[in-house]
Structure 1
Amino acid sequence: MECRHCASPLEKPGDFCLVCRERNTEAVVLEVGRERATLTMLAGEADEGDDHDRGHGRGRGADDDPVLGQTTITTTPEDGENEPVELRNFAGLIGDEIRRKRPEEVYAGGERAVIRAVREDIHHSLYRVDDENPVETVIERRGNRALDVVETPPIEKIGGSHSTLIGGRTGMEAIRAVAGHPHVKKVIPGPIDAGGKGSQSGLRAKVTRADDGGNVRMLLRDGSSVQENRVVTTARDREMGERIREDLNDVLTEAEFQ
């Protein structure tokens, strides 16, 4: 494959071009199982001002196939004490392929344990896709521009008139886990309702359905106490807010708050 910008040869489809320093892959879609992962590389729309490239046949037309290519990575699952190392190595191989593309976004569907390991290995925005055909689902979303990233430290995103959190230090850990997400602008703690049904399961956290503006609510439950916290995101509508909601609940699951 050639670079879509300067026509230099690429080692693998969708690789970042080291000659002109331009990205060829806008999004990577992962379909992961415990033994095999398939990475599908998707191109972005041709730049509106890229007349020179389109004149030479290197710009991608709106009707062209957005799939640049696929790569498959396999592993042999281990049991017992060897499993964590094998899983980490598997995720590392997947991460290496993602890094050589330098995409704007990464989407993943399939085995949660593998997705968690990949998330820990890369620094790209990663969204879960639960549909049976994640590639088609992502292609349908391609008209949306990438969500803005907030680089403010998590502790500086927490504010509002209610400073008390249920669960004490554990509640703060859950809030920080959500505040640390790159598409969260601010977390505003709400009042505490002590009239809920008691539970012996310890502190639990859940992010609820997005509103029309793309913002969500994070519920903290500890015993009979419930606290609703407003989470302001960079989403522009309900659909994009739902993407962030799913991702935040995955983060809370990984942190064992669900």
Structure 2
Amino acid sequence: MNCRRCGTPIEKPGDYCLTCNTANADAVVAEFESDRAHLTILDEDAVVGQTTVTTRPEAGERLSEVQLRNFAGRVADEIRRKRPETVYAAGEREPLRETRAQLHHEFYRVPDGGAGGRREGADDDSDDDREDVSPVVAWVLDRRGDRSLAVVETPPREKIGGSHSTLIGDRKGRKAVQTVAEHPHVKKIVPGPIDAGGTGSRTGLRAKATRAGTNGNVRLLLRDGSSVQENRIVTTAMDRETGERVREDLNEALRDAELQDP
């Protein structure tokens, strides 16, 4: 494959061209299994290439901490060489989390409903047709319109404000709000009053983003013991449909942070 701007040969499809400083892909979809990650490289709505990164855990055992870190590092390196605007990810949570921790890109978790396994017969580093892509990639392609949502550059800590400053759940409550604040389409989080008359929770603090309103905003519901707190989340979504996509992202992030039941 050659760079689309200057024609210089590039090593792998979608690689960033260092000759003319041009990106040849704008998104990467990473599908994680326990011992491999399938990467699909996208440029707008076109699949420009695929590659697979593998690792070898001990027979019958999970990856050790060092193996996990090294595996995620190799995946992160493959993504960095594309310099994409956005990374979408699905599958095994441990390598997904570790890879996300090693990257500084916009990172979206594909909801579990979007995952459905990889198609058979895909060759690494080869061009692909839309009808042959996996359900995860098809889900991403169907939702590329999310790129039109404004990205908020405000640091997460500055997104939190309002007349109520107390959060239930102490450290976990702060972690839940921080997780939501890190989303690029969240503009502001307004903590609400605490209601101590809720149904008791036996699993510690639980967090959930509720159904989007007609203006695209959602609510972050925190529940800890018998205490409940509803916090308003102002997003860059413009209607209920796009707000629901932000809500799906937030709930996946909360599940990854172990603040929501699987």
Q: How does 1:8-19 map to 2 (within 5 A)?
A: 8-19=8-19
Letter in 2 for 1:75: T
Displacement of 1:36 in angstroms is 1.6
Displacement of 1:87 in angstroms is 1.2
Of 202, 211, 214, which residue of structure 2 is paired with 1:212?
214
Provide TM-score, normalisation by structure 2. 0.82
1:96 aligned to 2:77? Answer: yes
Aligned equivalent of 1:21: 21
Q: Give aligned pairs, total.
A: 238
SS of the residue 1:101 aligns to? coil
When residues 243 and 116 of structure 1 are mapped into structure 2, their CA distance, relative to the original with a 3 A threshold, is farther
Consecutive unaligned residues in structure 1, runs of 5 or more:
46-65
SS of the residue 2:147 aligns to? coil
Aligned equivalent of 1:67: 47
Larger Cα-atom Rg: 1
Supply the distance in 1 between the matched residues of 2:24 and 2:216 (Cα, whole angstroms). Answer: 29
Supply the distance in 2 between the matched residues of 1:98 and 1:247 (Cα, whole angstroms). Answer: 20
When residues 116 and 183 of structure 1 are mapped into structure 2, their CA distance, relative to the original with a 3 A threshold, is same
Supply the distance in 2 between the matched residues of 1:72 and 1:193 (Cα, whole angstroms). Answer: 49
How large is the Cα RMSD of the aligned pairs? 2.1
When residues 106 and 157 of structure 1 are mapped into structure 2, their CA distance, relative to the original with a 3 A threshold, is same
Supply the distance in 2 between the matched residues of 1:170 and 1:67 (Cα, whole angstroms). Answer: 39
Moved more, 22-31 or 196-205: 196-205
Supply the distance in 2 between the matched residues of 1:100 and 1:213 (Cα, whole angstroms). Answer: 38
Displacement of 1:144 in angstroms is 4.4
Provide TM-score, normalisation by structure 1. 0.84
Q: Is the 8 A contact 1:39 1:72 kept in 2?
A: yes
Q: Is the 8 A contact 2:179 2:253 kept in 1?
A: yes
Q: How does 1:61-210 map to 2 (within 5 A)?
A: 66-78=46-58, 83-129=64-110, 130=112, 131=114, 132=116, 133-210=135-212
Displacement of 1:217 in angstroms is 1.0
Supply the distance in 1 between the matched residues of 2:140 and 2:186 (Cα, whole angstroms). Answer: 21
- What does the per-residue CA deviation read over 1:138-197, in whole Å, with 9 as the maximum and x for residues that have no partner? 222234435433232222111112222223444223222221223221100112212111
SS of the residue 1:244 aligns to? helix
SS of the residue 2:39 aligns to? strand
Aligned equivalent of 2:223: 221
Q: Is the 8 A contact 2:57 2:63 kept in 1?
A: no
Letter in 2 for 1:20: C
Q: Share of identical aligned residues, percent?
A: 63
Consecutive unaligned residues in structure 2, runs of 5 or more:
117-134
Q: Is the 8 A contact 1:92 1:121 kept in 2?
A: yes
Aligned equivalent of 2:44: 44
Supply the distance in 1 between the matched residues of 2:213 and 2:175 (Cα, whole angstroms). Answer: 25
Displacement of 1:22 in angstroms is 1.2
SS of the residue 2:19 aligns to? coil
- What does the per-residue CA deviation read over 1:4-39, in whole Å, with 9 as the maximum and x for residues that have no partner? 122111111000111111111011111221112111
Supply the distance in 2 between the matched residues of 1:138 and 1:172 (Cα, whole angstroms). Answer: 30
Supply the distance in 2 between the matched residues of 1:181 and 1:249 (Cα, whole angstroms). Answer: 11
Q: Is the 8 A contact 1:214 1:239 kept in 2?
A: yes
Supply the distance in 2 between the matched residues of 1:151 and 1:175 (Cα, whole angstroms). Answer: 17
Letter in 2 for 1:188: V
SS of the residue 2:81 aligns to? helix
Letter in 1 for 2:34: R
SS of the residue 1:213 aligns to? coil
Supply the distance in 2 between the matched residues of 1:136 and 1:81 (Cα, whole angstroms). Answer: 29
Aligned equivalent of 2:250: 248
